[in-house]
Structure 1
Amino acid sequence: MSLPPADDVLFEVRGPKSWECMTSAELAGQLAETDCAIVPVGAVEQHAGHLPLGQDNFQISEIVRRSVIQLAGENRNVIFGPTIPFGPLANVRFPGCIHIRPSTLALLTKEVCLNLHRDGVNTIVLAMGHDLSLGALMVAARELAEETEDRLRVIVANWLPYVVSLLPKTFPGLPPGGRDGHGGAGETARMLAQHPKLVRSDLARDYHVAATRSETPFAHPVTAGGGVYAPRATTIRDQEFQGILGCPSLGTAEIGEVLYESLSHWLSDVVREYCFGASESYNY
């Protein structure tokens, strides 16, 4: 196996500084201005042969980074919180996957949020970057509300339904009735825009799965905006499946930039409404 030169710069980290990049004094300065933070929640998971294992962490942190900048431009200061890098996984037959149980993620998320709360953060937006983490994050948010008697507000932001609605318009070249998802055109485009040296385009392979939709309203996965949760340990059993769902061949850096701008603006809208808008939201 050949390794890149030791002095090869694979990617750059752009500002503003996240929680883990700040000094304690720098963080104290931000805490004096705001009690709101956005926490990216990703995963370390295979994305076939052409995208990095940390894809989910990279892209959700980039969405949060851009959102923090957009909100700061409106004099709405929000702290770029620490990334929670692990989550529950499926299809762990691929090397490199780091799987934790949903119950472990819920506990880890609560511990992270309580540490932020100790330092003065009273509103946290958990920006979900990995679909199988949604349930655990919702449990953590609910339990934190109860355990702190609403002194700590935790909002879970799931951008997947929005990106699902964007994909057919963004990639008109998708096969009729085809799906694009894990390691496909959207994720490939975003990584080409963010850290192109981490993309192995020579190893990308399109993998087509026909998209079916039930006639029953909202009878599709909760993570994509539907009303059904039907978990499986292995989502695709086809031995030809190499971790790609969709058409990475359609991804470009230009499209990735458009997607990042759209997704970060969506997150900014959520933060604006739930953290700086009405004090009460409608919940069952």
Structure 2
Amino acid sequence: MTKVRRLAELRWPEAAGVDLLVVPVGSTEQHGPHLPLATDAIVAAAVAERLVAALVEDGVGAVLGPTVPYGASGEHEGFPGTVSIGHGALRALLVELVRSASAWAPRTLLVNGHGGNAPTLDAVVALLESEGRPTAWLPCGVRGADAHAGRAETSLLLQLRPDLVALDAAEPGAVEPIAGLLPRLRAEGVRAVAPNGVLGDPTGASAAEGAALLRAMVASATERARGFVG
């Protein structure tokens, strides 16, 4: 993989000439009894890093920003370890981040690893675009994957951070289609529908499957990012 420039490691003169700032956005929330609280942040950072490498190969002056590790995770607050800053705080953080960065980075791309952040990201992009600050966001996801801490995320973590996966603690949770669970989940939180925090079934997860999922995520993200940078 092409060497990626990381914003936090640059000296200020090295930040001159940046075309695009890419910022992973995750969460700190429960991911079942077998995955780490940072799962969404880990996946977002991995996709963003590979995306930046691909854009650099295209000749884009892209740089990888530090991961935003907190998000809007109120639906997971029934579990110890979850830290949710809510939609209002997340919106303020991202808006001010991009406003500041736009002084030297003409475009910002937010790579999101937590579905609960999506409404805020829509609002953030709309506001910043109205101010003339080119901003976009894209998700880390693949069609057909289970919703939360199931086979897909377990496979991804087995590929990216196997040292943080406790497979002996992995167990199925609520395996019903997510659409049927959403009304109660939104009203009462994840714990009401899945006491172990899993929406799906991690059975059969593997690092090989995680590698394939990651490639698909990166390919989709890269295609969308190329459209954004033109």
TM score, norm. by length of structure 1: 0.73
Deviation at 1:29, TM superposition (A): 2.5
1:244 is matched with which residue: 198, 206, 210? 198
Structure 1 unaligned runs (5+)?
1-13, 168-179, 215-219, 222-227, 277-284
SS of 2:33's equivalent in the other structure is coil
Counterpart for residue 139 of structure 1: 123
1:18 is matched with which residue: 6, 9, 23? 6
Counterpart for residue 128 of structure 1: 112
**More helix by proportion, 1 or 2?**
2
**Aligned partners of 1:156 and 1:234: how far apart in 2?**
26
**Aligned partners of 1:79 and 1:99: how far apart in 2?**
27
Contact 2:173 2:195 in 1 (8 A): yes
Letter in 2 for 1:127: V
1:258 equivalent to 2:220? Answer no
**Aligned partners of 2:63 and 2:5: how far apart in 1?**
9
2:227 is matched with which residue: 264, 273, 283? 273
Deviation at 1:274, TM superposition (A): 1.4
Larger radius of gyration: 1
Contact 1:48 1:242 in 2 (8 A): yes
Letter in 1 for 2:143: V
Sort the Cα spacing of 1:213 and 1:55 in 2 relative to 1 into closer, same or farther, 3 A: closer
Letter in 1 for 2:41: N
Letter in 2 for 1:35: D
1:183 equivalent to 2:137? Answer no
Letter in 2 for 1:29: E
Sort the Cα spacing of 1:153 and 1:59 in 2 relative to 1 into closer, same or farther, 3 A: same
1:100 equivalent to 2:55? Answer no
Deviation at 1:250, TM superposition (A): 1.6
Matches within 5 A, 1:58-207: 58-89=42-73, 90-118=75-103, 120-146=104-130, 148=131, 150=132, 152-160=133-141, 163-165=142-144, 167=145, 180-207=146-173
Counterpart for residue 44 of structure 1: 28
SS of 1:48's equivalent in the other structure is coil
Structure 2 unaligned runs (5+)?
none
Note the aligned Cα RMSD (angstroms). Answer: 2.4
Deviations 1:227-271 (A, max 9, x none): x9x944514514x62011112122101111111111011111111
Deviation at 1:91, TM superposition (A): 2.5
**Aligned partners of 2:172 and 2:179: how far apart in 1?**
22
Letter in 2 for 1:48: G
Counterpart for residue 3 of structure 1: none
TM score, norm. by length of structure 2: 0.89
Sort the Cα spacing of 1:61 and 1:37 in 2 relative to 1 into closer, same or farther, 3 A: same
Deviations 1:13-52 (A, max 9, x none): x9624322x1324xx32532x3212111100001111111
Contact 1:15 1:65 in 2 (8 A): no
2:14 is matched with which residue: 17, 20, 29? 29
**Aligned partners of 2:212 and 2:113: how far apart in 1?**
18
Contact 1:91 1:233 in 2 (8 A): no
4+ residue segments displaced more than 3 Å:
230-233
1:234 equivalent to 2:202? Answer no
Matches within 5 A, 1:200-215: 200-211=166-177
Sort the Cα spacing of 1:183 and 1:104 in 2 relative to 1 into closer, same or farther, 3 A: same
Counterpart for residue 280 of structure 1: none
**Aligned partners of 2:50 and 2:62: how far apart in 1?**
11
Deviations 1:91-147 (A, max 9, x none): 3111100011201110010111122112x111111111111111111111112222x
**Aligned partners of 1:24 and 1:237: how far apart in 2?**
48
Contact 1:46 1:96 in 2 (8 A): yes
